[in-house]
Amino acid sequence: MTQGIPKSVRDALANKRSAEQHPSPDLLNGHVEHSLSATEKAGVMRHLSVCEDCREVVFLASAASENSDAVIPGPADTWRGWKWLVPAVALLTLVSSVLVERPKLFAPRPAAMQAANHQADALPSQTAGSQAATENQTNALMFSPAPQAAPNQQEQIRANLTSRNKTSAQDEVAAAAGAKQTPSETREALADLAKAAPSLPPSSPPVIARNAAVTSSAATAAAAPLQAAAGQAPSARAFGAVGQSSLQSMKKAAAPSGISGDASYRPLTIRSHWRITDEGHLERSLAGDNWTQVLADQPIRFRAVAVVGNDVWAGGNNGALFHSIDGGEHWAQAVLSADGHPETGAVVSIHFDTVSQGSVLTETGSKWITSDRGQSWNK
Amino acid sequence: MYEAAYKIAHDEATARALADSIYAELYGVGQRGELRTSKLYYYLGRGSLAGWLRTVVAQEYINQYRRTRRETSLEKAIEDGKQFGAVEPAENPPSDARLAVATASELDALDAQDRFLLAAYYLDGRTLAEIAKLLRVHESTISRKLDRAATGLRKRIRKRLIAAGMTTRQAEEAIQDVDVRDLPVNIRETLGQATQEASFYKEKGAEQG
């Protein structure tokens, strides 16, 4: 303010008088506390501009207010109002990290998962940087606890599976959703796996499926070679195949108990999990560790199970092969026979590329192929 | 309430008197035979009750101040030496009616808040901090608004004077409205310059002679 107002203006201001009545203390207080409406505020301001007494009242009331010593921050001091932000963000981060980590630290962990993790840590060729490989290893170990005889082959197979899962995100999504793999991709996978896993010698000991959990066609595609690889170990009890989608389902099921904290897993629909116990019982789990035996009335010692979408295939001794098209609710027995000679060897591997195309391996080395969803089988 | 009164009056006795007076009015006073009417009846809740009470106290204080100002005793006036004071100069009317008209018109056209700022700062002598606190803005904002309002008002008055027939210089002089007594002239320096000038000519004449 380099210069004031002209004397004529000063005189005119001093001589101005309001024709209106003085505002009530209620209005003046509302003006001081900025609680008036726009209309009321304009009216009071108009009166204050010409009434010295009311100006005096509002200034005295304002000075007598409780926060009269408060300093109104100016534009240059604006940043000071945000000083609390830094400790607040730090505190928020700390609290959120504690809340996220707490379930992991204190939640009870299933014994099977703990054992699998211990074995995964013990693997010499495990690469720490590959999260997917670690998950696959852990998952595979969880369902095949005795890979001592052929660890290198199994790791190679898992590496192939991991690379396939990594390079084809769409395949992964399709597998997770239970979609069908294209035959060409399946052939590639089989070719890769065949390179990694040598063919199963006919004289190898019988493969007993245990803890098989198959939830997708991609997992099914890997089932046979993995079984073959695991079957070379004399002490191995063999295992069913577990694919990426199965892993995701398991992670999803385990997430509430704090086992998995990986947030990158996409939510999946609840799907059934399948396994075969040491006693050869076929069991199903819809969620968690709640397993229910199915086909309990059949005097069959099951040794292989495969899942393609809602189709479930389970095979056991004496060439027994059962098929369910509704996720295991209802079952029908398929007959493996050629020229009137039924199959007598135990089914050790079931492999389906699509819902309708698949093959079955028996312990006698026979391979049965179907291309019409099990309506007919050719040797 | 006493604390509020003390903050306003800055005097304990006055604050006590103010607080007691307000208490009585809040309790309600009335003529004999009539119902007592409490001052709280006029509290309509536009602001907080504490703020309303502070405003009532401030209003009462202003009223008391105006009453007592007019009741200055003759003894005190004599003590103050009022009888020897110079005669108050009569209010000089504006030199040009056009200036008064232009000023009044522009003041009426001014925004109420700008007029409030000008009156509070230039007439009442309020500080920027007091005005800023009342309006809940920063002092720099008040300063900027005041500067803008004063400059704009001056320009508009000059423009109106020119439109009324004044020349630019006349308008400037009218706005300046300089009283000789208000001129910031340094008499000593001016006299010094005159003396130096006279001595210069005197010396010059001596050399020529």
ipTM of the complex as predicted: 0.71
Tens digits of residue pLDDT in A102-130: 766 665 555 545 544 555 444 444 444 44
Pick from A278, A303, A371, A179: which is nearest to A313 by CA?
Answer: A303
- Identify the helix (H) or strand (E) that includes residue A59: helix A52-64
Chain B interface, best mutation among A8, A17, A37, A50, by max B CB count within 10 A: A8
Q: Report the sign of the C-alpha dihedral through residues A294, A300, A306, A307, in that order.
A: negative
A55/B138 Cβ within 8 A:
no
A6/B154 Cβ within 8 A:
yes
According to the 3-state scheme, what is the secondary structure of B118-140? HHHHHHCCCCHHHHHHHHCCCHH
- Residue A294 · residue A330 · CB < 8 Å: no
Tens digits of residue pLDDT in A153-162: 555 545 554 5
Q: CA triplet B176, B177, B181: central angle to 5 degrees?
A: 110
Query: Which span out of A12-21, A135-144, B111-120 was modeled with the highest average pLDDT?
Result: B111-120
What is the distance between the terminal CA atoms of chain B, rounded to a whole angstrom?
87
Amino acid at A161: L
Count Cα neighbours of A223 within 13 Å in the Cβ-side half-sphere: 36
- Identify the helix (H) or strand (E) that includes residue A134: helix A131-143
A61/B55 Cβ within 8 A:
yes
Nearest to B119 among A40, A55, A58 (CB): A55
* Alpha-carbon distance A84 to nearest alpha carbon in chain B (angstroms): 22
- Residue A36 · residue A44 · CB < 8 Å: yes
Least confident range of A87-91, A235-239, B135-139: A235-239
Q: How confident is the model at residue A152 (pLDDT cuts 50, 70, 90)?
A: low
Query: Which span out of A145-149, A166-170, A362-366 was modeled with the highest average pLDDT?
Result: A362-366
CB < 8 Å from B in window 53-92 of A? 53, 55-66, 68, 72-75
pLDDT of B149 strictly over 80: yes
B58/A61 Cβ within 8 A:
yes
Q: What is the mean pLDDT of residues B73-83?
A: 69
Chain A hits for B112, Cβ within 8 Å: 42, 45-46, 48-49
Nearest to B58 among A12, A45, A57 (CB): A57
pLDDT of A44 strictly over 50: yes
pLDDT of B175 strictly over 60: yes
Nearest to A6 among B42, B115, B175 (CB): B175
pLDDT at A91: 92
Tens digits of residue pLDDT in B50-67: 888 888 888 888 887 777
A57/B55 Cβ within 8 A:
yes
A9/B47 Cβ within 8 A:
no
Per cent of chain B over pLDDT 90 is 5
B42/A25 Cβ within 8 A:
yes
The Cα-based distances of B127 to A48, A241, B122, B146 in angstroms read: 16, 84, 10, 12
Chain B hits for A6, Cβ within 8 Å: 103, 154, 157, 175-177
If one counts every other C-beta atom within 10 angstroms of the C-beta of residue B200, the result is 10
For residue A352, list its beta bridge partners.
A358
B8/A26 Cβ within 8 A:
no
pLDDT at B144: 92
Q: What is the mean pLDDT of residues A174-182?
A: 43
Backbone φ, ψ for residue A90 (5° rounding):
-60, -45
Q: What whole-number distance in Å separates Cα of residue B20 and Cα of residue B8? A: 15
Q: What is the mean pLDDT of residues B150-172?
A: 86
- Residue A185 · residue A178 · CB < 8 Å: no
pLDDT of A235 strictly over 60: no
pLDDT at A270: 58
Q: How confident is the model at residue B21 (pLDDT cuts 50, 70, 90)?
A: confident
B116/A75 Cβ within 8 A:
no
A313: helix, strand or coil: strand
Chain B interface, best mutation among A10, A16, A33, by max B CB count within 10 A: A33
Q: What whole-number distance in Å separates Cα of residue A367 and Cα of residue A359? A: 7
- Residue A322 · residue A333 · CB < 8 Å: yes
Chain B hits for A61, Cβ within 8 Å: 8, 51, 54-55, 57-58
Chain B hits for A53, Cβ within 8 Å: 62, 66
For residue B14, list its beta bridge partners.
none
- Identify the helix (H) or strand (E) that includes residue B66: helix B49-70
Please, what's the b/e burial string for B55-71 (b: 16 or more CB within 10 A of its CB; e: otherwise)? bbbbbbbbeeeeeeeee
If you ran DSSP here, which 8-state letter would residue A128 be given?
A: T
Nearest to A33 among B47, B137, B176 (CB): B47
pLDDT at A231: 40
pLDDT at A201: 43
If one counts every other C-beta atom within 10 angstroms of the C-beta of residue B44, the result is 13
A42/B112 Cβ within 8 A:
yes
Rg (CA), chain B: 27
What pTM was computed for the model?
0.41
CA A304 to chain centre: 27
Nearest to A65 among B43, B54, B139 (CB): B54
Chain A interface, best mutation among B55, B59, B111, by max A CB count within 10 A: B55
A1/B122 Cβ within 8 A:
no
Least confident range of A25-34, A47-56, A114-123, A244-253: A244-253
B146/A25 Cβ within 8 A:
no
Chain B hits for A44, Cβ within 8 Å: none
Count Cα neighbours of B53 within 13 Å in the Cβ-side half-sphere: 21
